[in-house]
C-alpha cells in the first residue's frame, strides 16, 4: 500500500527522510516569524528598545541571507548530508543559547549563530529530497516540502503567541531543541550522503565583501535611531556600505566562480523576479514586525491575541498560493504577480493612511485578507518566473539567488522601515510631551525612553494617573505617526514592484520548463 503516495520497497525510508527535511525546514522558517509576537515581552524582560528588537530579528536574517548561497555550495562540494547535519547542530545549539540568554546582546549573538545554522541546513533540505526521490515522485515530495514551509510561516505568529503567553518568551527558542535533536539522529540514520558531480568553488572574497556591505548598511540604518544621522560612526558605516557594495559588484563581475553570478541579471525576467522578491520581503517582513508591536503596545493585546489576529492574512496566503501557481503555469506569471502586488501594496497604503490607535480589529480583517491574497498571488508565480528565466540547468542557483534576495529584503525592511518609524516618533513625541508641563528632568527621561520605542514604567513613577494617561496618549499618537509613514513607504515599494513585474515578467505560458533558450542558455553557459 502506498505511503503518502510513495511506492517501492524503501517507501518508508523515503517518507522518514521527507518528514525529517520538512521539520528541519519548518524550524528555520518558523524563526522568521515566530519571534515577532514575542518582541514586546522580550523588550520588557531584557530592556530592549526598538533598535535592540530590530537587531534580534535582523541578526538572524542577516546571517541567513549572507550565507545562504555559500551553504548550498558547501553541500554540493563536501556532502549534503554532512553540511545539513552541521547546520542542524549549530541551529539547535544556538536555539538553546537564545533561550538561556540573560541580555539583549547575548540574544542577538545567538540569533546570528542561528542564522548561520539555518543557512547551512536549508539548501540541504531540498537537495536531499531531490536525490532521495525518483523523478516521478519528486514533484509530490517537493510539494509537501513547500507546503510545510508555508504552514510554518503561517502558524508562526499564533504558535509563538501561545507559547510566549503560557511558557515565557524563551519557549519559542526551546521548542527547536527537541525537534532539532530528533531530526539530527533521524537524518544520521536514514539520509544517504551525496555530492554534486559539478561542484562550484567557494567564493570567499565575495562572501566577505557581501556580508560586510550588508552589515554596514544594516548597522547604519538601525543605530541612526539612537546616534543620529550626522554621527561620524553612522556616516562612516553608510559610506563603507557604498565602498564595500561597489567592491562586491566589481569582484563578482570578474570572478568566474562568483557565488552570485551577476550575468544572470542581464535577463530581464530574472532581474524583475529578484526585485519583486526583495520588495515583497521588505514590505511584508516589516508589516509583521511593526503590526505586532502595534497590536501589543498600542492595543494592549497579549502575545497570543496578537498572533491569532494574523491568521486571516496567513491563511489567505496558504489558500491563494497553490491556485496562483497553477494559473501561472498555464497563463504566465505577469498577470498574477501584477495583480497580487497591487493588492498587497494597496493594503499597506490603506493601513498607512487610515489605521488609528483605536481602530477595531474587525475593520482590519478584510485588509489582512486582501493583503494575504495578494501575497499568495505573487509568491509562486514569482518563483516560477525566475526559474523559467534561467532554464532547468541553473534552477538550483536561480532558486538560491531568489531566496537570498528575499532574505536581504527582510534585512533592509526591518532596518529601513524601523528607522523611518522611530525617527518620526522622536520628532513628534518631544514637542507634544513639552505641552504637558512635566518636570524637566522627568520629561527628558521619558523622551529618552520613548526614543527607544517604549515607555519604561520607571520613567512614569511619581506622575499622577491623569499625567500617565496623557503621556501614554502622546506616545501612542507619535508611534502611530511613525507607523503610518513606515507602512506608506512599504506600500509604495510594492507598487513599484508591481510596475516592474508588469513591465518585465513575460506573459503567456512558458514554452517548456526552462525559459527561452535564446535568452537563458548563453548566459547560463558563461557561468
| SS3 (DSSP) at 507 | strand
**Do the Cβ atoms of 54 and 222 come closer than 8 Å?**
yes
Nearest-angstrom CA–CA distance, 265 and 250 = 14
Q: What is the pLDDT of residues 72-94, one digit of tens each?
A: 888 878 888 899 999 999 999 99
Quick one: average pLDDT of 190-197? 80
Beta-bridge mates of residue 6: 3
- Alpha carbon of 6 to those of 11, 13, 39, 300: distances in Å? 6, 10, 42, 48
Residues contacting 258, CB < 8 A, separation 6+:
203, 206, 251, 252, 527
| pLDDT given at position 481 | 92
**Bridge partners, 507 (sequence order):** 332
Residue that wins the pLDDT comparison between 143 and 238: 238
Instruction: State the pLDDT confidence band at 96, using cuts at 50, 70 and 90.
Output: very high
In sequence order, the β-bridge partners of residue 332 are: 507
Predicted confidence band at 99 (pLDDT cuts at 50, 70, 90)?
A: very high
Q: Which fold has domain 1-200?
A: Growth Hormone; Chain: A; (1.20.1250)
**Cell matching residue 112:** 546570528
pLDDT over threshold 90, residue 100: yes
Question: What per-residue confidence (pLDDT) applies to 244?
Answer: 94
Average confidence score pLDDT of the chain: 83
pLDDT at 4: 55
Question: CB–CB of 123/72 below 8 Å?
Answer: yes
pLDDT at 323 over 50: yes
pLDDT at site 526: 32
Residue range 245-258, pLDDT digits in tens: 999 999 999 988 88
What pLDDT is recorded for position 517? 35
Rounded to whole angstroms, how far apart are CA atoms 269 and 288? 28
User: Tens digits of per-residue pLDDT, 326-337?
Assistant: 788 788 889 999
- The predicted model gives 24-29 an average pLDDT of 80
CA of 15: how far to CAs of 18, 85, 145, in Å? Answer: 5, 18, 11
- The span from the CA of 86 to the CA of 97, in Å, is 17
Question: Is residue 523 over pLDDT 50?
Answer: no
Residue ranges of domains in the chain: 1-200, 203-258
Distances (CA, A) of 426 to 19, 347, 429: 48, 26, 5
Of 30-44, 161-175, 407-421, where does mean pLDDT reach its minimum?
Answer: 30-44
pLDDT in tens, 269-312: 999 999 999 998 888 776 777 888 888 888 888 878 888 888 89
Amino acid at each position: 500500500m502506498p505511503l503518502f503516495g510513495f511506492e517501492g520497497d524503501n517507501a518508508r525510508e523515503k517518507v522518514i527522510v521527507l518528514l525529517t527535511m520538512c521539520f528541519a525546514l519548518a524550524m528555520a522558517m518558523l524563526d522568521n516569524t515566530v519571534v515577532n509576537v514575542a518582541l514586546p515581552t522580550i523588550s520588557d524582560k531584557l530592556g530592549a528598545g526598538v533598535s535592540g528588537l530590530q537587531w534580534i530579528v535582523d541578526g538572524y536574517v542577516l546571517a541567513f541571507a549572507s550565507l545562504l548561497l555559500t551553504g548550498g555550495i558547501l553541500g554540493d562540494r563536501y556532502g549534503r548530508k554532512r553540511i545539513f547535519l552541521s547546520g542542524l547542530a549549530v541551529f539547535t545549539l544556538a536555539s538553546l543559547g537564545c533561550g538561556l540568554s540573560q541580555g539583549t546582546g547575548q540574544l542577538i549573538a545567538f540569533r546570528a549563530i542561528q542564522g548561520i545554522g539555518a543557512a547551512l541546513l536549508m539548501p540541504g533540505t531540498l537537495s536531499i529530497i531531490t536525490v532521495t526521490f525518483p523523478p516521478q515522485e519528486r514533484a509530490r515530495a517537493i510539494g509537501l516540502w513547500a507546503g510545510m514551509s508555508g504552514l510554518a510561516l503561517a502558524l508562526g505568529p499564533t504558535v509563538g503567541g501561545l507559547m510566549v503567553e503560557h511558557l515565557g518568551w524563551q519557549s519559542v527558542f526551546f521548542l527547536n531543541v527537541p525537534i532539532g535533536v530528533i531530526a539530527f539522529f533521524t537524518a544520521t540514520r536514514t539520509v544517504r550522503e551525496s555530492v554534486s558531480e559539478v561542484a562550484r568553488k567557494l567564493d570567499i572574497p565575495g562572501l566577505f565583501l557581501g556580508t560586510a556591505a550588508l552589515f554596514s548598511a544594516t548597522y547604519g540604518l538601525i543605530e541612526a535611531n539612537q546616534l543620529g544621522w550626522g554621527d561620524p560612526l553612522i556616516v562612516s558605516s553608510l559610506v563603507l556600505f557604498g565602498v564595500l557594495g561597489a567592491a562586491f559588484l566589481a569582484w563578482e563581475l570578474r570572478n568566474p566562480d562568483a557565488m552570485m553570478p551577476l550575468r544572470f541579471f542581464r535577463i530581464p525576467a530574472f532581474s524583475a523576479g529578484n526585485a519583486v522578491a526583495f520588495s515583497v520581503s521588505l514590505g511584508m517582513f516589516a508589516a509583521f514586525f511593526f503590526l505586532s508591536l502595534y497590536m501589543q503596545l498600542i492595543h494592549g493585546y497579549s502575545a497570543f491575541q496578537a498572533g491569532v489576529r494574523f491568521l486571516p492574512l496567513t491563511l489567505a496566503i496558504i489558500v491563494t498560493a497553490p491556485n496562483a501557481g497553477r494559473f501561472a503555469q498555464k497563463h504566465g506569471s505577469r498577470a498574477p504577480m501584477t495583480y497580487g502586488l497591487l493588492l498587497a501594496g494597496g493594503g499597506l497604503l490603506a493601513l498607512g493612511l487610515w489605521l488609528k490607535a483605536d481602530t477595531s480589529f474587525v475593520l482590519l480583517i478584510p485588509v489582512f485578507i486582501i493583503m494575504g491574497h495578494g501575497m499568495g498571488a505573487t509568491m509562486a508565480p514569482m518563483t516560477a518566473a525566475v526559474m523559467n528565466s534561467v532554464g532547468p540547468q541553473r534552477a538550483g542557483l536561480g532558486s538560491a539567488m531568489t531566496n537570498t534576495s528575499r532574505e536581504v529584503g527582510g534585512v533592509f525592511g526591518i532596518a529601513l522601515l524601523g528607522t523611518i518609524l522611530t525617527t518620526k516618533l522622536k520628532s513628534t513625541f518631544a514637542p507634544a510631551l513639552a505641552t504637558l508641563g512635566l518636570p524637566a528632568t522627568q520629561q527628558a527621561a521619558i523622551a529618552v525612553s520613548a526614543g527607544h520605542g517604549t515607555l519604561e514604567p520607571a520613567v512614569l513613577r511619581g506622575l499622577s494617573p491623569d499625567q500617565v494617561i496623557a503621556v501614554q496618549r502622546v506616545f501612542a499618537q507619535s508611534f502611530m505617526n511613525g507607523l503610518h509613514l513606515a507602512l506608506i513607504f512599504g506600500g509604495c515599494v510594492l507598487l513599484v514592484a508591481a510596475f516592474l513585474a508588469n513591465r518585465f515578467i513575460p506573459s503567456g505560458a512558458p514554452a517548456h520548463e526552462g525559459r527561452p533558450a535564446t535568452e537563458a542558455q548563453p548566459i547560463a553557459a558563461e557561468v
